[in-house]
Amino acid sequence: MTTTTRSIRLALALFTCAAPLTAQVPDRSGPPELGPPPTLSLPPIQEHRLSNGLRVMLMEKHQVPVVQVNVLVRTGSAYDPEGKEGLASMTADMMDEGAGTRNALELADAIDFLGARIGVRAGMHTTSATMYTPVSKLDDALPLLTDILLRPTFPEDELERKRISQLTQLLQAHDEPRAIASVLFVKALYGEDHPYGRTTDEQSIRSIGMADLRSFHDTYFKANNAVIIVVGDVTPSDFLPKLERAFGSWSTGHVPSPSWPQAQQVRRTQVLLVDKPGAPQSEIRIGRIGAARLTEDYFSLDVMNTILGGSFTSRLNQNLREDKGYTYGAGSSFTFWAFPGPFLASSAVQSNATAASLEEFFKEFRRIREPVPADELSRGKNYEALSFPGNFESASGIAGNLEDIAIYDLPRDYFNQYVERILAVTQRDVRDVARKYIVPDQMLVVVVGDRATIEQDIRALNLGPVRTMSIEDVLGPKPDLGGM
């Protein structure tokens, strides 16, 4: 044995003997303590105006050579004319199917060649034309966005293709309990006179023509009805002249302000049961009208819903999934729009557990109205506080969040203060908003499932009046695609 080998073995032996003396035994008696929630400190939002008055919100982020541009127009599905439901969405879908001098394929090729992403999407109150591009390709990508936003051609052959696609989706929805339940819930909650309760059907899809698309675009797509949000590796001195060349000639003009009826709150719990013969599961939707985006209860509602049904460890999911095994998942949410959006609790459960699941839902509705234990409140607040900064990891994520500031005129440091305001929510705050917004005897209940299996047990719960419906009552007759 060589001297070197002996030395190595001696060193290993000494290390082995010494290890037990210095090693630390991990403490597995409980989970490790959480550190303090990370702070979020976004760069300042810079406000500018183009020569035509078009508002620009710009945030510099120079870590990565990319830029996100969101052009936000104040119009969306809530602005659909009566009988033309789906017009805003169809207009948005058609805007990148041909624009400027390019047809749909040429436009798609030009965008892909640059490694950029450009799209248009209609929401309830806004339509967003978004662009994500490397800064090195910005000068070539920006004219494509401008063409899509200002100069869509709305080719008739593409409209027919979109129409067939939407009618096919409507036909498929007749066999999808999830779609049936979702449509019925908003129609019954808001009524078809309110924009939040209107949904597309075969008649409205077939009624939308080229003139409707052009009229909707001409009416709402004006510079004084829009805002540009920019996040990325740019500076005002370099980028604003580019925006001026691209959008400085965008015309302004009168934009109509629609008036909508006030939605009527649910006054007593009622059950709408849609028969889907042979369905192995039941789709459940339970809720009522919630709160608007600018409610003073926003942060308290956020924490309360996290505890009730807004996370995997929420009460609803732990009850129906982990404890009872009725479902793969159950949860709840508040949708915040310009006017009060819905509070919704939902799940897809085994048919033979439908009534039992409804019983557990209402049990949790009643329980959340009682004071929440301090440790559960802390977990709920930490969940929101620790996860919130992750929404701002990318330029597109930041720009998407800044849309709320633009739409609702929130304070410019709103997101920098967000975690602090979440952590300030108290037990009393959670109890108060739960009692205000979660009212068990004033809930709309929608169930789509096998009526023969579930109806008797649902009626036995005595939640309220039960009305039975067919799929055609909800979605109308199946579309006839034979003549398309």
Judge whether residue 57 has pLDDT over 90.
Answer: yes
Q: Furthest-apart CA pair in the chain: how many Å?
A: 96
Q: Residue 147: helix, strand or coil by DSSP?
A: helix
Report the alpha-carbon distance of residue 295 to residue 41 in Å, rounded: 24
| CA distance linking residue 89 with residue 165, whole number of Å | 13
Examine the pLDDT at 292 and tell me if it is beyond 80. Answer: yes
Given a cut of 90, whether residue 169 has pLDDT beyond it is yes
Q: Which CATH superfamily is domain 270-473 in?
A: Metalloenzyme, LuxS/M16 peptidase-like (3.30.830.10)
Give the whole-angstrom CA distance, residue 219 versus residue 383: 43
What's the fold here for domain 46-247?
Cytochrome Bc1 Complex; Chain A, domain 1 (3.30.830)
Question: For residues 146 and 247, is the Cβ–Cβ distance under 8 A?
Answer: yes
84 near 256, Cβ under 8 Å? no
Alpha helices in 194-297 (DSSP H): 202-207, 210-220, 236-247
Give start and end residues of each alpha helix (H) in 75-196.
Answer: 87-95, 104-114, 138-150, 156-173, 177-190
CB 187, CB 39: distance < 8 Å: no
Write down the pLDDT at residue 32. 72
Give the tens place of pLDDT for each residue, 400-413: 999 999 999 999 99
Residues 123-161: tens digit of each pLDDT? 999 999 999 999 999 999 999 999 999 999 999 999 999
pLDDT in the model for residue 24: 67
Backbone angles phi, psi at 225, to 5 degrees: -120, 25
In this model, does residue 364 exceed pLDDT 90?
A: yes
Provide mean pLDDT across the span 320-343: 97
Q: Give the angle subtended at the CA of 472 by the CAs of 467 and 476, to the nearest 5°.
A: 125
Q: Kindly state the average pLDDT of the residues 100-104.
A: 96
Q: How far apart are CA 398 and CA 69, in angstroms?
A: 11
Q: Give yes or no for residue 176 having a pLDDT over 80.
A: yes
The per-residue pLDDT for range 187-201, each reduced to its tens digit, is 999 998 999 999 999
Q: How confident is the model at residue 14 (pLDDT cuts 50, 70, 90)?
A: very low
pLDDT of the residue at 9 = 57
Element (H, E) at 99: strand 98-99
Answer yes or no: are the C-beta atoms of 53 and 223 closer than 8 Å.
Answer: yes
Q: How far apart are CA 196 and CA 100, in angstroms?
A: 34
- Strand ranges, E, within 187-318: 226-232, 270-275, 281-289
C-beta of residue 342 within 8 angstroms of C-beta of residue 335: yes
pTM, whole model, 2 decimals? Answer: 0.89
Sign of the dihedral defined by the CA atoms of residues 75, 81, 86, 91, in that order: negative
State mean pLDDT over 168-192: 97
CATH 3.30.830.10 location in the chain: 46-247, 270-473
